[in-house]
């Protein structure tokens, strides 16, 4: 759900407030009818999907697996429906204008945006409430299986606990930092002239907004540890073992936290760009339901994200996507602004094209990059639990058992791969995730398992994968360097030349070039 929340905020911010066309649905009663009708549509579609999933659940021995696959697939479609109805509100109605026309609302920074996004948030909550019985029934089957295996199952969470967990971890986790950035966005937008009078630099509002966004991103881990219910991992054999692993692999973090979910979620996460505000979180169910080797494998996966600098690389991807989109918008502007242009495109239309390009880059490019980084973290996690001595390796492998030759330097131990595979299988089983279910950011569990086993049996596959990762890193760095250099070249006359600061053009080169030359020059 995190992706849908990010897209909803992006649509709200990026959609031009000065529309290139009049919205076809306008007026208080008409817009209210559309918003209420959309919420009813979300409720009806969710209820239909829930009833179908419950029917599948009762289909004998294969019922739970069929219902799990259907439930996850339907949830993805329903989240898309919630997001799509919100896009309709923003693009085809004057919903935002109605909110912003209320004087006391418009006077508070970011409040119009936060109220305007309420249909999306309400639709998401309606979806959670309606599908809760399916989630409860599926988790009850997992609890029943645990009862037979261990005799100590957790209770299935109530509707209140289910809503509290999902709202805190899926909605507020994104909405809280985005809300802070919205406050800064509205502040700089409403006081742009005052800021440029205070310091006569035309790009000062963008610099202030960028600085605030960077500060929010850097300190977001501290905020999220408060939004999510966490506490330090108590001292004991597990904490000492994980700290020893940190020393062995050179991982620095502020603390290892237990992520409380009432025993309902098996998950882990790493947050923080710098060691002083970096946290590694392990959910309570993961700690309680997995053995120490499997916990260390999952911990090693999160450490792999840090070791391979995935968070900074994701920032490079964000910069690269903005530079590509901004470059395309600038080219469109220059082409339509020339005397022999085949067609004139206004600024709002060009912004819409830039937004669609951003969506395409993130939808296709970010998913591709993220899935490869997840596999690189899987590989690192498997290496973290690989035996250091060949005598401890339980299976013949290219890392420890090579007759008549030295092991390949980048070979993956088959035993370490087996331990990590068992952790993936356990995560899928406990979370009720169908192994073949695709994931935009992580790939399916089954494909990740096949990937590790292939690498454990073929050291050349490891070398090929390492080359792919290097090409991705070099490509991101090259796009950022070239794009920044080109942007600086074109922005230099506008920023440091004789420009008319009052003549502001909205968003070209990512809103960096906000002024045009004085026609009187």
Domain count, the chain: 2
174 & 307 share domain: no
pLDDT of 466-484, one tens digit each?
Answer: 999 999 999 999 999 999 8
Angle, CA 279 vertex, CA 262 and CA 322 arms, to 5°: 110
Confidence check: pLDDT of 143 > 60: no
169 & 318 share domain: no
Q: Which of 178, 193, 210 is the last residue of a domain?
A: 178
Other Cβ atoms less than 10 A from the Cβ of 185: the count is 20
The tokens for 363 are 């939808």
Question: What percent of the chain shows pLDDT beyond 70?
Answer: 83
Q: Do 212 and 181 form a contact (C-beta atoms < 8 A)?
A: yes
296 within some domain: no
192 within some domain: no
Task: Report the distance separating Cα 222 and Cα 357, nearest Å.
Answer: 32
How large is the greatest C-alpha to C-alpha distance in the chain, in angstroms?
Answer: 83
224 within some domain: no
Sheet hosting strand 230-232, strand order edge to edge: 230-232, 255-259, 279-283, 268-271
pLDDT of 195-251, one tens digit each?
Answer: 767 766 666 777 787 888 889 888 989 988 888 889 999 999 999 999 999 999 999
Q: In whole numbers, what is the pLDDT of the chain averaged over residues?
A: 82
The partner residues of 517 in beta bridges, in order of sequence, read 499
Average pLDDT of 177-195? 80
Question: Which pLDDT does position 322 carry in this prediction?
Answer: 87
Burial of 62 (0-12, 13-18, 19+ CB in 10 A): exposed
Question: 22: which DSSP letter?
Answer: -
172 & 319 share domain: no
436 within some domain: yes
The tokens for 87 are 């896009």
150 or 367: whose pLDDT is higher? Answer: 367
For 344, phi and psi rounded to 5 degrees?
-95, 130
DSSP symbols for 330-379: HHHHHHHHSTT-SS---HHHHHHHHHHHHHHIIIIIIHHHHHHHHHHHHH
328 & 473 share domain: yes
Q: Which of 147, 178, 209 is the last residue of a domain?
A: 178
**CA within 13 Å, CB half, 207:** 9
pLDDT of 18-35, one tens digit each?
Answer: 666 678 888 889 999 999
Confidence check: pLDDT of 282 > 80: yes
DSSP symbols for 431-444: HT--TT---TTT--
Question: Which pLDDT does position 305 carry in this prediction?
Answer: 94
Confidence band, pLDDT 50/70/90 cuts, at residue 154 = low
4 within some domain: yes
355 within some domain: yes
SS3 25: strand
Question: Which pLDDT does position 465 carry in this prediction?
Answer: 94
26 within some domain: yes
Confidence check: pLDDT of 366 > 60: yes
140 within some domain: yes
Question: Which pLDDT does position 347 carry in this prediction?
Answer: 72
Confidence check: pLDDT of 506 > 50: no
In angstroms, how far is the first alpha carbon of the chain from the final one?
A: 51
Confidence check: pLDDT of 153 > 60: no
Question: Which pLDDT does position 378 carry in this prediction?
Answer: 95
pLDDT of 291-310, one tens digit each?
Answer: 999 999 999 999 999 999 99
Task: Report the distance separating Cα 299 and Cα 238, nearest Å.
Answer: 11
Q: Which domain holds residue 150?
A: 1-178
Q: Which of 162, 178, 194 is the last residue of a domain?
A: 178
Average pLDDT of 259-263? 84
Confidence check: pLDDT of 455 > 70: yes
């Amino acid at each position: 759900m995190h992706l849908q929340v990010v897209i909803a905020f992006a649509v709200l911010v990026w959609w031009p407030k000065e529309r290139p066309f009049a919205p076809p649905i306008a007026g208080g009663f008409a817009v209210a009818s559309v918003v209420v009708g959309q919420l009813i549509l979300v409720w009806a579609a969710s209820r239909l999907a829930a009833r179908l999933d419950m029917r599948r659940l009762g289909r004998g021995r294969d019922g739970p697996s069929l219902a799990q696959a259907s439930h996850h697939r339907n949830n993805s479609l329903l989240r898309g429906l919630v997001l799509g109805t919100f896009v309709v509100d923003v693009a085809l109605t004057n919903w935002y204008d109605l909110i912003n026309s209320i004087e006391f609302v418009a006077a508070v920074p970011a409040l119009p945006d936060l109220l305007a996004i309420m249909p999306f948030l309400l639709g998401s909550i309606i979806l959670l409430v309606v599908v809760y019985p399916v989630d409860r029934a599926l988790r009850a089957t997992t609890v029943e299986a645990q009862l037979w295996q261990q005799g100590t199952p957790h209770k299935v969470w109530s509707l209140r606990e289910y809503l509290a967990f999902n709202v805190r971890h899926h909605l507020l986790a994104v909405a809280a930092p985005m809300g802070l950035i919205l406050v800064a966005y509205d502040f700089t937008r409403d006081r742009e002239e005052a800021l440029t009078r205070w310091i006569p630099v035309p790009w000062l509002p963008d610099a202030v907004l960028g600085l605030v966004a960077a500060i929010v991103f850097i300190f977001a881990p501290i905020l999220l540890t408060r939004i999510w219910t966490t506490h330090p991992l108590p001292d004991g054999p597990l904490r000492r073992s994980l700290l020893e692993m940190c020393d062995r692999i050179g991982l620095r973090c502020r603390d290892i936290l237990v992520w409380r979910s009432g025993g309902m979620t098996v998950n882990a996460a790493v947050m923080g760009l710098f060691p002083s505000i970096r946290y590694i979180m392990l959910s309570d169910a993961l700690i309680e339901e997995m053995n120490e080797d499997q916990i260390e494998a999952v911990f090693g996966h999160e450490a792999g994200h840090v070791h391979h600098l995935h968070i900074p690389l994701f920032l490079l991807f964000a910069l690269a996507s903005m530079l590509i989109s901004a470059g395309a918008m600038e080219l469109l502007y220059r082409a339509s602004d020339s005397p022999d242009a085949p067609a004139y495109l206004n600024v709002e239309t060009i912004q819409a094209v830039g937004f669609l390009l951003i969506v395409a880059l993130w939808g296709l490019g970010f998913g591709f990059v993220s899935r490869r980084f997840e596999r690189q973290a899987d590989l690192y996690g498997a290496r973290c639990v690989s035996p250091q001595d060949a005598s401890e390796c339980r299976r013949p492998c290219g890392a420890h058992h090579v007759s008549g030759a030295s092991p390949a330097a980048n070979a993956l131990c088959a035993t370490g791969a087996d331990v990590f595979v068992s952790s993936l299988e356990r995560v899928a089983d406990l979370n009720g995730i169908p192994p073949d279910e695709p994931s935009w950011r992580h790939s399916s569990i089954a494909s990740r398992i096949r990937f590790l086993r292939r690498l454990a049996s073929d050291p050349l596959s490891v070398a090929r994968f390492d080359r792919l990762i290097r090409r991705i890193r070099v490509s991101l760095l090259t796009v950022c360097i070239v794009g920044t250099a080109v942007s600086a070249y074109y922005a230099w006359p506008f920023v440091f030349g004789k420009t008319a600061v009052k003549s502001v053009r909205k968003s070209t080169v990512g809103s960096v070039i906000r002024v045009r030359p004085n026609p009187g020059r």
